[in-house]
Amino acid sequence: MLSIYKASAGSGKTFRLVLEYLKLVLANENNYRQILAVTFTNKATAEMKERVIGQLFNLANNIENPYSENLIRETGLDTETITKRSGKVLENILFDFNRFSVSTIDKFTQKVIKSFNREIGVTPNYQVELDNQLIIKEAVDRIITTITSNKALRNWLEDFIDEKIRNNKNFAVENDLISLGQELFKEKFQENIEDLNRFFSDPSNTSQYLKTLNSCIFPFEHEIKNRASSIMGTYKAAGFSNTDFTYRNSGIAGFIEKIAAGNVPDELGARVLEAEENPEKWVAKTHASRQEILALVTSGLQPQLKQMLEYYRSHKKDYYTAKAIKREWYTMAVLIDLNNEITALNREKEVLPLASSNLLLRSIIDGNETPFIYEKSGNAYGHFMLDEFQDTSSMQWDNFKPLIANSLGLGKENLVVGDIKQSIYRWRNSSWDILANQITRDFQYMGINNVNLNANYRSDARIISFNNHFFQTFSNKLAAHEQLVNATENYPEQLREIYSDVQQVEAPQTAQAGYVRIDILEDEDEGFRDNSLANLEKQIKFLQDQGLQAHEIAILVRKNDEGKAIVGHFLQLQRLEENQTYNLKIVSSESLFLESSDSVNFIINVLRFYFNKENRIVQSTLIQLYSLLQTFAGQESLSDIELSGLQSAIYPTIHFEEEFTNLLLPKLNALEPELQNSSIDEIIIRVASAFGLFRYPFEIPFLQALMDKAADLRKRYLNDISGFLNWWDEKGYKESVKVNENMDAMRLMTIHKSKGLEFKAVLIPFFNWPLFDFKNNILWCTPEMPPFNKAPLVPVSFNKDLENTIFSKDYFRETFNGIIDNLNLIYVAFTRARSVLMVNAPGKPKKDTVCTLLSDTLSDLSGNETFVNCWDAKNTVFKYGSIDQPDSCVKQTIASPTSGWTFNSFTAKLKLTSTSKDFDDVAEFGATSRDTGNLIHQIMSRVKTKDELDEAIIQIALEKRLADSDKEQIRNTLHDLMQNPKAVHWFDGSYKVMNEKQILSPKGLYRPDRIMIRDKEAVIIDFKTGSLRPESYRNQVRKYGNLLLQAGYEKVDGYLWYVHGNNLERVEIL
């Protein structure tokens, strides 16, 4: 059975996932090995693991929890059985934690790919690259350097530049190529890459196709221009001009003259269509020569117009199709070369872009039996649980579908959870249509159970009520958008269907509270932004006056530049004396960019100095930053106000060269030899240490983030100063420090980043973004009609001209998707609120923005008895509900954004030893004792009883290719061990034995060599092969023993078994 849970915002999606997981594992204590739960983020993965483990612990110990009642009702098990089974399942998971499979979809994909690396030609040591931009940038640089030797590429780029010039675009191609490179990771392109490579590998294909496009463009333009010129010549020969005809330049004569001048119309206006049918529409009734003109129209002009328009209509589709394809044709050619370069670069650097993983996995799954894939990847999953299913891409679904089909064929339970209304990642290839339609089509004959989770456990009652009514009304108005109504598909009905389940009910404990306020502000464009910022200040002060803490408030924006404007505005507000009683501090990724750190900028400029020591601007900047940092010496923390004030107050003097030479140059020269053989992350650490940058606590988070990023880049790509500086200039400066979640400051984030979160108060200051993205939006279309179908796939720019092409269906589909994307963004933003929702929108919105229909929607809501008197049309304010003040309005202490950060220097942890200890001591049978220890550990990990010993020795001897003499020596040694009188009963089968099993604790994972369990007693064995017996060995065993005592065992004994000498030492468990 496949259960599909449609989970609206706040409906307890994670609760349901955990409940279904618990039901499966309580049915069979080993089922955890057969379940793969897939989430989309590491945070969600960690949350689900914690919940499962935590609830199993609660159930096993009869601790009150929200799951017991549901489990009793849905499984039919009694409390005693659930308690007993929960304890057993928890024990199994903790001792076999690697088989507890809750994973991101990307991690699962990588696991399978690594299992098949030989078959697909990927090195087993490949690195997964998350940053497509870095790969694309390096590939573009390499392509540009080959222009002189690659004639075909040079021709393509010349044509590409020529086309950009003709379209009045900037012809600097490097940034264009980097931007275009993102198209390579769209699934539509990846699905067709083999066909495209075949097509473009033959130059005759591309040249012939270009000729086909030109044959549809130039003859059409020439012919229609000539026909228009002929019509114009007719009335001019009779002594008339366009001023003699109705509406002059904007009428039928103006239309004809524009075509004669070479301007092909996108569409035929009403005046043209009227003139085509009615001669009376050509000339005004009061014109002195009306009858003469009417005769000319009837005898010549109108028949010529009809012939021209007939020609226009019959050839228009091919003409606009050819123009649309040609506009991006050179883009396609360059992308093919760029893709080939990226492929070569990845192979050379042993890198696999994460965005290409799904394509590789699909190549593995295609043509293979599903059980073989399980076996090869090391797991035989029987149950699949997919979270956030609306964010699944087509390739991801193609990869999972055969696995789920196999599971359903075996009669196993599977489930997916998602909400189409929260699908906002289509730019990352997600497709909400999979949840809406495809999954039902794919498994319609295998049993599907559709369940709607419509109770809202997050928001207060008035927030739920407002969202119910708002989205029902707003979605209906959007469904009537002309672009949807004009499409051949029934998109209005599809939109209504998607939002048909928007109505939510209150959960049993829902508070009868909540406050909604929507302000329609005057002005537009920049005027609206200023007004909204001023209003945002009032709203935040109002909320804090009502008792809300800063950390309970979230400000959501559509784009990062809006966030920057808010951060800048509130930094200025914090300086004012009148605002000192309010907490106007804002935390966001934009406010914690690495470039905002003086220490980071100092290090970057030190690197620039070593790269070019004569750069006086760098010298001046270093002196300025050094002086600024010296000003802060000894301070534990620094507010944004102090930072911004001092940054603007300190400037280098005219004597900066002398200051640089005296203060910094000696240190820089002394430091240089130490850096010559250092990696880039070590260079950063050494520079920071040399100049005392770790003295400033408020700088440490930035420094640590810079070091982490440098270490990551070193492992993948860059380990030189030049490359690192290039990375910094292109994107490194935009990297941000992770936010301290315990800080009492308002959260500022994009709507996309807010998904999955909730806040007591949500403020949306700029509710005015466009419905459609016409800028740099490329559609990948399959041309199905001749003569364009000779190419397997073509890119076209998304714009209204596509209505006139063979891609009109693609155009309307993208239009529909754009509306859904933005309606979903609004839904996600509004449903983050628990108690307060505030929105600012412009009073004079532009056409086709999210706020175009807002006033009408609010006006309609006011007609509902629930919202009577909520809409103030005069002041253009909608207010519903009120804010319930908390019992206590005690202000929390505002934490410093860097409190709790520490820097751990690696130098204190690295020491050279003057003795070899036992590392190179020669053991009894030829190898070092370290080698002996590894062999003995591997053998004993396979032995539970004495009868299994010889077989384990044979297996290890074969795997390690041991000499017969070594094998016999090991055999004698281990048989002697088992004759130890204290240990004989440990190998007689009377204990449950777990070798090399992990123990999960809050501080990490621990793995004793051998654990033996009988009833409530446990025995721990750790094998040692060296001659030394440090106290750390005993402490290690004590740690294991204490963990088992905490796990519920009543008696735990611990032993160190020294193989050399067969000495068994008992360790007291404290």
Mean pLDDT of the chain: 86
Region 583-612 average pLDDT: 85
pLDDT at residue 643 tops 60:
no
Q: How far apart are CA 78 and CA 100, in angstroms?
A: 25
Q: How far apart are CA 492 and CA 496, in angstroms?
A: 6
Q: Which of 54-63, 626-635, 964-973, 1039-1048 has the weakest average pLDDT? A: 626-635
Please say whether the dihedral angle defined by the alpha carbons of residues 783, 785, 790 and 792, taken in this order, is positive or negative: positive
pLDDT at residue 599 tops 60:
yes
Q: Give the confidence band of 741 by pLDDT, cuts at 50, 70, 90.
A: low
pLDDT at residue 926 tops 50:
no
The pLDDT, as a whole number, for residue 323 is 95
Q: How far apart are CA 1014 and CA 1037, in angstroms?
A: 19
CATH domain 2-123+361-453 topology: Rossmann fold (3.40.50)
Length of the chain: 1070
Region 23-46 average pLDDT: 91
Region 726-736 average pLDDT: 83
Percent of the chain residues topping a pLDDT of 70: 89
Region 503-523 average pLDDT: 92
Q: How far apart are CA 931 and CA 939, in angstroms?
A: 12
Region 830-834 average pLDDT: 96
Straight-line distance from the first to the last Cα atom of the chain, in angstroms, rounded to the nearest whole number: 51
Q: How far apart are CA 42 and CA 34, in angstroms?
A: 21
Q: How far apart are CA 358 and CA 187, in angstroms?
A: 9
Q: Kindly report, residue by residue over 552-568, the tens digit of the pLDDT.
A: 999 999 988 898 889 88
Q: What is the DSSP string of 54-100?
A: HHHHHHHTT---SSHHHHHHHH---HHHHHHHHHHHHHHHHHTGGG-
The pLDDT, as a whole number, for residue 907 is 52
Instruction: Tell me the two tokens of residue 179.
Output: 């931007």
Q: Which of 108-112, 113-117, 594-598, 622-626 has the weakest average pLDDT? A: 113-117
The pLDDT, as a whole number, for residue 896 is 45
Beta bridge partners of 393: 430
Comparison of pLDDT for 451 and 352, the residue scoring more:
451
What residues contact 550, with CB distance under 8 A and at least 6 apart?
A: 544, 583, 584, 585, 744, 745, 746, 894
Burial zone of 501 (CB within 10 Å; 0-12 exposed, 13-18 middle, 19+ buried): middle
Region 516-533 average pLDDT: 84
Q: Kindly report, residue by residue over 122-150, the tens digit of the pLDDT.
A: 777 777 777 788 788 888 888 888 877 77
The pLDDT, as a whole number, for residue 215 is 96
The pLDDT, as a whole number, for residue 920 is 41
Region 268-284 average pLDDT: 94
Q: Give the confidence band of 899 by pLDDT, cuts at 50, 70, 90.
A: very low
Q: Give the confidence band of 539 by pLDDT, cuts at 50, 70, 90.
A: very high
Q: How far apart are CA 1006 and CA 1046, in angstroms?
A: 14
Q: Kindly report, residue by residue over 458-481, the tens digit of the pLDDT.
A: 999 999 999 999 999 999 999 999
CATH class for domain 461-588+743-882?
alpha beta
Comparison of pLDDT for 370 and 745, the residue scoring more:
745
Region 359-377 average pLDDT: 66
Q: How far apart are CA 644 and CA 572, in angstroms?
A: 9
Instruction: Tell me the two tokens of residue 1017.
Output: 């007693």
Region 684-706 average pLDDT: 86
Beta bridge partners of 762: 554, 837
Q: How far apart are CA 928 and CA 635, in angstroms?
A: 53
The pLDDT, as a whole number, for residue 890 is 47
**Does the domain spanning 594-734 belong to CATH 3.40.50?**
no
Return the SS3 of 546: coil
The pLDDT, as a whole number, for residue 638 is 42
The pLDDT, as a whole number, for residue 168 is 66
The pLDDT, as a whole number, for residue 369 is 58
> Which helix (H) or strand (E) covers residue 337, if one does?
helix 302-349
Instruction: Tell me the two tokens of residue 266.
Output: 């996108």
Q: How far apart are CA 418 and CA 381, in angstroms?
A: 21
Q: Kindly report, residue by residue over 217-263, the tens digit of the pLDDT.
A: 999 999 999 999 999 999 999 999 999 999 999 999 999 999 999 99
Q: Which of 98-107, 111-120, 696-705 has the weakest average pLDDT? A: 111-120
Q: Which of 618-632, 656-670, 897-911, 983-997 has the weakest average pLDDT? A: 897-911
Percent of the chain residues topping a pLDDT of 90: 47
> Which helix (H) or strand (E) covers residue 606, if one does?
helix 598-611
pLDDT at residue 929 tops 60:
no
Enter the CATH code of domain 929-1067.
3.90.320.10
Q: Kindly report, residue by residue over 779-797, the tens digit of the pLDDT.
A: 999 999 999 999 999 999 9
The pLDDT, as a whole number, for residue 919 is 41
The pLDDT, as a whole number, for residue 459 is 95
Enumerate the domain spans of the chain: 2-123+361-453, 461-588+743-882, 594-734, 929-1067
The pLDDT, as a whole number, for residue 591 is 60
Q: Which of 12-21, 644-653, 943-952 has the weakest average pLDDT? A: 644-653
Say if pTM beats, i.e. exceeds, 0.85. no
Return the SS3 of 260: helix
Q: How far apart are CA 958 and CA 947, in angstroms?
A: 19
**2-123+361-453 and 461-588+743-882 share one fold:** yes
The pLDDT, as a whole number, for residue 661 is 87
Instruction: Tell me the two tokens of residue 653.
Output: 């003097």
Q: Give the confidence band of 895 by pLDDT, cuts at 50, 70, 90.
A: very low
Q: Kindly report, residue by residue over 157-216, the tens digit of the pLDDT.
A: 787 777 677 766 666 677 778 888 888 889 899 889 989 999 988 989 989 999 999 999
